Amino acid sequence: MTGRPEDNEGANGRESEPDPGPGHQVTGHTHAGGIEAPREGGPAEPVAIGPGVIQIDTLLGGWRRMTAGYLVEGPAPVLVETGSQSSAGALLAALEHLGVGPGDLAGVAVTHIHLDHAGGVGDVARAFPDATVYVHEKGARHLADPSRLVASAERVYGPLLDDLYGRLEPTPPERLHVLADTETVEIGPGRVLTAVDSPGHAKHHLGLHDSLSGILFAGDAVGVRLPDAGILRPATPPPDFDLGQAVHSLRKFAARRPSGIALAHYGLLEDAETLLEEAEATLRSWAETAERALREGRDIAAALEERYRFDTSHVSAEFREKLEVLNGFHSNAAGLRRWLETSGRMPAERDYGAPPPGS
Ligand SMILES: [Zn+2]
């Protein structure tokens, strides 16, 4: 089935604001606006994390161990996640280093269309003209015509769009393939990737489960756990975050009994069962904190920061800045607030403060 993006809006056919992804919201809170993106040495070496599964550091902003892509090897190899457009150079160099020639890549799959996962799709599709681009039905139209997604990103990210992420080049619609829940992509004899519809973080989110290694590529559905921070944080950005859907998606992942979970941010965690339980507990804890803050008329971001900032007190201020850009308290608070106000759990009231852009 080749996806026709014009058919790919939600079941109600309603247009909704395309969302560029979590990240720093351009509001009065501007401390990360001038953040430096220092190169930390040369390109990172790709690492095998399972049989025929290669982790590639896509070096968002030149930062190591923040954004990963994964090459699943076989006669018809598939790349999972391109990273942002600004990562395309590092990614293409890594693939060349791995011996993947322009005619070799059979597919590019994105877990969702946030720019730190899919911003490089247009560039990578051009570099690998035979590759099919796999995407959730609710994301496909924005890969074919990124204009609204990029316009939304401009509003949310401000200068960080060009300084950090880059944009998104269109992919010819005939190269897109919409993946349905449980649909498989064949990589070789005995090796398929199974799509797992997994909304919650975003409505256009898919997990991809590799039958050979047992690894499940979880995008952002499980949260963000950077090796340099060592703690799991939920990723609850606007406009799609939904607690019930997010928990349901975690349980769908657990039911597949993966051998490990590969996070886009960042790397493989082998105890999938424990990680998924931790992810659910963490999500519920953040949602409770947000709900209490909203009921008490307090700022949600401030409440989250007060409760959870000590999680990262062991890492440098510079690193906390990076984490705030990638998966910050402000973006998560905006998503939790929107969910609370639209799920019927809380009334939307003006005196909770000005809504952030994009929410
Ligand atoms: Zn992400």
* CATH code where residue 60 lies: 3.60.15.10
CA geometry: angle 40, 61, 103, nearest 5 deg: 100
Span from the CA of 189 to the centroid of ligand 1 (angstroms): 31
Span from the CA of 158 to the centroid of ligand 1 (angstroms): 18
Please report the pLDDT score of residue 228 as a whole number: 87
Task: Please check whether residue 357 lies inside any domain of the structure.
Answer: no
Please report the pLDDT score of residue 17 as a whole number: 53
Range of the domain at 96: 5-352
Please report the pLDDT score of residue 309 as a whole number: 85
Span from the CA of 265 to the centroid of ligand 1 (angstroms): 7
Span from the CA of 113 to the centroid of ligand 1 (angstroms): 9
Task: Please check whether residue 358 lies inside any domain of the structure.
Answer: no
Span from the CA of 91 to the centroid of ligand 1 (angstroms): 16
Span from the CA of 352 to the centroid of ligand 1 (angstroms): 27
**3-class SS at 71?**
strand
Q: What tens-digit pLDDT sequence spans the chain (359 residues)?
A: 333 333 333 333 334 556 666 554 433 333 333 333 334 555 678 999 999 999 999 999 899 999 999 999 999 999 999 999 999 999 999 999 999 999 999 999 999 999 999 999 999 999 999 999 999 999 999 999 999 999 999 988 889 899 999 999 999 999 999 999 999 999 999 999 999 999 999 999 999 999 999 999 999 999 999 998 889 999 999 999 999 999 999 999 999 999 999 999 999 999 999 999 999 999 999 999 999 999 999 999 999 999 998 777 788 888 888 888 889 999 999 999 999 999 877 665 544 444 443 33
Task: Please check whether residue 327 lies inside any domain of the structure.
Answer: yes
Span from the CA of 296 to the centroid of ligand 1 (angstroms): 30
Span from the CA of 215 to the centroid of ligand 1 (angstroms): 18
Span from the CA of 69 to the centroid of ligand 1 (angstroms): 11
Task: Please check whether residue 331 lies inside any domain of the structure.
Answer: yes
Please report the pLDDT score of residue 29 as a whole number: 31
Span from the CA of 220 to the centroid of ligand 1 (angstroms): 5
Task: Please check whether residue 347 lies inside any domain of the structure.
Answer: yes
Omega of the bond leading into 165 within 30 degrees of 0 (cis): no
Task: State the Cα–Cα distance between residues 340 and 334, nearest whole angstrom.
Answer: 10
Span from the CA of 128 to the centroid of ligand 1 (angstroms): 23
pTM of the predicted model as reported, rounded to 2 decimal places: 0.86
Beta strands in the chain (DSSP E): 47-50, 53-57, 68-72, 78-80, 107-109, 132-136, 176-179, 184-188, 191-197, 206-210, 215-219, 260-263, 267-269
Beta strands in 302-344 (DSSP E): none
DSSP tag of 165: I
Span from the CA of 257 to the centroid of ligand 1 (angstroms): 23
Span from the CA of 5 to the centroid of ligand 1 (angstroms): 22
**3-class SS at 337?**
helix
Span from the CA of 38 to the centroid of ligand 1 (angstroms): 20
Cα separations in angstroms, 241 against 51, 88, 113, 269, 321: 33, 27, 14, 23, 23
How many domains, in total, are found in the chain?
1
Task: State the Cα–Cα distance between residues 78 and 301, nearest whole angstrom.
Answer: 38
Span from the CA of 219 to the centroid of ligand 1 (angstroms): 7
Span from the CA of 22 to the centroid of ligand 1 (angstroms): 7
Span from the CA of 81 to the centroid of ligand 1 (angstroms): 10
DSSP tag of 6: G
Task: Please check whether residue 312 lies inside any domain of the structure.
Answer: yes
Task: State the Cα–Cα distance between residues 266 and 99, nearest whole angstrom.
Answer: 24
| CA-CA-CA-CA torsion sign (314, 270, 115, 113) | negative
Check: CB of residue 289 under 8 Å from CB of residue 307: yes
